[in-house]
A = this chain, B = another copy of it.
Amino acid sequence: VTSSARRTGRRPGESGTRDAILEAARRSFGTAGLSGTTIRGVARDAGVDPALVHHYFGTKDALFAAAVELPVDPATLPPLLLAGGLDGLGERIVRTFLQIWDGTPGQGPMLALLRGAVTDETAAASLRDLLTRVLFRPLAEAAGGPDGAALRASLAASQMGGLALARYVVKVEPLASADPDVVAPVVGATLDRYLSG
C-alpha cells in the first residue's frame, strides 16, 4: 500500500496525509465498524492531529463514505430529501437511490458494502448503523414523528435493501432493468406508508 506521493518520490504532502488517514480509517472501520470508530482513534493511528481528519473529511460518517468510496456521503441525503417536503418523499428517495446506484458503474462500492454485510458481522453492523441512524431514522422521524420511528425506519430499510438486492445483486427481471419512472412511484408509495406509519 503505497501512497501516490511516495510512488512519485515526493515528500508526503496533502495527498500522502489523506492516504494515511484513509488507510487508518479502513483498518478501524474493518475491525471496529462504523459505530466503534472514532476520528481521534483514526488520527492517532495515522499519526496526525484529529483536526486534520476533520479538515480533510468532515464528520466520521463522511470519513466512512470516503473510506469505502461511496459516491455520496449518506448523511447528506436526508436533509436534501426532506428539503422537498413530505409530499412525494418516498418517490424522491427511490429516484435518488436509483440515480446513485445506476450512476455508479458496476455499483462497486455499494455492492462491496452489501457483500461485506452478508459475510461479516462488523460490516453488517456498519451497514445497520448507516441504514438506520444515518439514513432512515431521520426520514422516519420527519415523516411520522418520534413514536415508533425506529420500527418505521427499519421497515423502510428492508424495502430499500431488498430493492438493491433484487435489482443489482440477484438481478430479478424485469425489476433489474425497469425504468426509474416505473419503479419510483410504486416503491415510493411503500416507503411513504412505512415512514409516516
Fill in one digit per residue for A148-172: 1 if any B CB lies within 8 Å of its CB, else 0. Answer: 0011001101111111011101111
Give Cα distance in the complex from A119 to B117, angstroms: 12
User: How many of these chains are in the complex?
Assistant: 2
CB distance from A120 to the nearest CB of B (A): 11
Residue A28 lies at the interface, judged by CB distance under 8 Å to chain B: no
Q: Is the CB of A170 within 8 A of B119?
A: no
Q: Given the known inter-chain contacts A186-B194, A193-B189, A194-B186, please indicate yes or no for A117 contacting B170, CB distance below 8 A.
A: yes
A166's contact among B157, B178, B190, by CB below 8 Å, is which?
Answer: B157
Q: Is the CB of A169 within 8 A of B124?
A: yes
Give Cα distance in the complex from A118 to B107, angstroms: 13
Q: Is the CB of A190 within 8 A of B132?
A: no
Closest B residue to A123 by beta carbon equals B170
Q: Is the CB of B161 within 8 A of A166?
A: yes
Chain B residues with Cβ below 8 Å from A182 are 151
Fill in one digit per residue for A179-197: 1 if any B CB lies within 8 Å of its CB, else 0. Answer: 0001000110110011000
Residue A128 lies at the interface, judged by CB distance under 8 Å to chain B: yes
Q: Is the CB of A132 within 8 A of B172?
A: yes
Q: Is the CB of B159 within 8 A of A190?
A: yes
Chain B residues with Cβ below 8 Å from A117 are 169-170
Chain B residues with Cβ below 8 Å from A110 are none
A interface with B by C-beta (< 8 Å) = 114-115, 117-119, 124, 127-128, 131-132, 150-151, 154-155, 157-163, 165-167, 169-176, 178, 182, 186-187, 189-190, 193-194
Q: Would you mind naming 24 contact pairs between A and B with Cβ atoms under 8 Å apart?
A: A114-B118, A117-B169, A118-B165, A119-B119, A124-B171, A127-B170, A128-B170, A128-B171, A128-B172, A132-B173, A151-B174, A151-B182, A154-B174, A154-B176, A155-B187, A157-B170, A158-B167, A158-B172, A159-B190, A161-B166, A162-B162, A162-B163, A162-B165, A186-B193
